[in-house]
Structure 1
């Protein structure tokens, strides 16, 4: 690793509070709880069970928050059971040819800090260079940060393994998921939006095709189809090996919430579940 030990004594401060989501704690808590309440299944809806993994969008809450809440509401079934969330999200600002840890003991949010954990399985991946410690990669990155207010609300006792995904193959990225996927005490979260800046009708066509491939567990999704494609593809590979079943929880575009229809960003929430009787 570039900065042993894996965790220093520092706390990473929020980079996009006040931009992607409210910085004022009471407003942020109210917004998150309202989105979760709207996302909870109706009483007559068949429960999906507790998810082993989720795909969650990561735009500003005004755009993708309701779709993200559809995924995080599923994780409420894991409260008291899951003690760790392994989260992969793409790098938007600083490049790296690895999966990057932030090198801190916690990631702060307006709702309080989330403890960072580096399990032995992740430490072992550093020996081959797959995982590195790069605070600069995380400093201004939003793809993981925007999930944290949902995480600390839904699973307040869980620690976080935050991996910013750089230029690695999905097969390599899947190495970071296999030790954890399907463990009773761990939830895997992949942070990704779908298509970017297409007109609404074209975006729906492209996104529907991408969602179809996700639901069929067919890896090979491109970065034009999903900005977090590496993490998504890694999950599809590992989920297929474990026999997990994906379930579409919801999809939208920015034009469905607060944007204009001429240039939209697509969002999807997908849960991955053990088959019945397993």
Structure 2
């Protein structure tokens, strides 16, 4: 069995299972038990260290409560931070591991998209990538058992990303998660202005975001270009930056949490 071992446990989030669960329970708070309106189909969530963006991520993850029992597959897309990448990378692995246990990959789904334009095999893109890894403990606590389709998204035409998302869209059993922070290293006030504008663009389902607005721009643009996404509405659940959570206000990173239903 090929296991993708955790790369940022102990740095981005606790490596001790009990402490990790305690932190996640704090971020998630009371998980919503009853649904109001259409069920969530896709999320956009931040991926910084939990001390910075855990509360923001938790604000949208808790909204999965009413549908968590129906979700058995997560399609998880995040930007490449550690290697230069053209296209979308799938790993050659059987499961991804965190301090909370192993998450099996949906091999059939991965085989289905492996031949699509823009999809490449790259363990290097996954081995040290934090943007996907930090989402897994939230999903493990909320969903329990599920299968994962992990995609690291590099420079890529949004139509190619959309084609992968549409292929894997599925029904209530499938959740789409896009991992992205917003602006990087701007002064607090400027970051708030830039991120507010980006928030409006995401709500309007813009598919022309750039990296200065969101590091996961390629994945977000692909989601917004998806033909299925046209039937959904976007709700901004939370919008903050590291100056609001645990960081200095001179240079901040923006965090947004969005729900598509």
Check whether the contact 1:52–1:181 (CA below 8 A) recurs between aligned residues.
no
Give the structure 1 partner of residue 106 of structure 2: 117
Q: Does 2:155 align with 1:167?
A: yes
> How many residue pairs end up in the alignment?
261
Give the structure 2 partner of residue 155 of structure 1: 143
- Of the three residues 53, 59, 75, the one matched with 1:64 is 53
Give the structure 1 partner of residue 180 of structure 2: 192
Check whether the contact 2:194–2:213 (CA below 8 A) recurs between aligned residues.
yes
Check whether the contact 1:57–1:193 (CA below 8 A) recurs between aligned residues.
yes
Residues 124 and 112 (structure 1), Cα distance of their counterparts in 2 relative to 1, 3 Å cut: closer
Partner deviation per Cα, 1:4-24 (whole Å, 9 max, x = no partner): xxxxx2111100001000011
Between 1:92-101 and 1:12-21, the stretch displaced more is 92-101
Residues 148 and 192 (structure 1), Cα distance of their counterparts in 2 relative to 1, 3 Å cut: same
CA distance in 2 between counterparts of 1:236 and 1:197 reads: 26
Q: Does 2:62 align with 1:73?
A: yes
Partner deviation per Cα, 1:31-90 (whole Å, 9 max, x = no partner): 00111116x4699xx835420000000000000000001121112222221110001000
Give the structure 1 partner of residue 71 of structure 2: 82
The answer for unaligned runs of 5 or more in structure 2 is none
The answer for unaligned runs of 5 or more in structure 1 is 1-8, 274-278
Check whether the contact 2:13–2:134 (CA below 8 A) recurs between aligned residues.
yes
Alignment of 1:196-235 (within 5 A): 196-235=184-223
Give the structure 2 partner of residue 267 of structure 1: 255
Give the structure 2 partner of residue 18 of structure 1: 10
Residues 180 and 124 (structure 1), Cα distance of their counterparts in 2 relative to 1, 3 Å cut: closer
Give secondary structure in 2 for the equivalent of 1:187: strand
Give the structure 1 partner of residue 21 of structure 2: 29
Q: Identify, as 1 or 2, the structure richer in helix.
A: 2
Q: How far is 1:92 from its partner?
A: 0.2
Partner deviation per Cα, 1:212-271 (whole Å, 9 max, x = no partner): 011011210100000000111111122675410111111110011100100000000100
Q: How far is 1:157 from its partner?
A: 1.5
Alignment of 1:176-187 (within 5 A): 176-181=164-169, 183-187=171-175
CA distance in 2 between counterparts of 1:159 and 1:182 reads: 13
Q: Does 2:248 align with 1:256?
A: no
TM-score between the two structures when normalised by the length of structure 2: 0.95
Q: How far is 1:128 from its partner?
A: 4.2
Q: Does 2:47 align with 1:55?
A: no
- Could you say what the CA RMSD is over the residues aligned between the two structures, in angstroms? 1.8
TM-score between the two structures when normalised by the length of structure 1: 0.89
Partner deviation per Cα, 1:106-137 (whole Å, 9 max, x = no partner): 110001111111334x4243324422221111
Q: Does 2:85 align with 1:96?
A: yes
Give secondary structure in 1 for the equivalent of 2:168: coil
Residues 99 and 34 (structure 1), Cα distance of their counterparts in 2 relative to 1, 3 Å cut: same
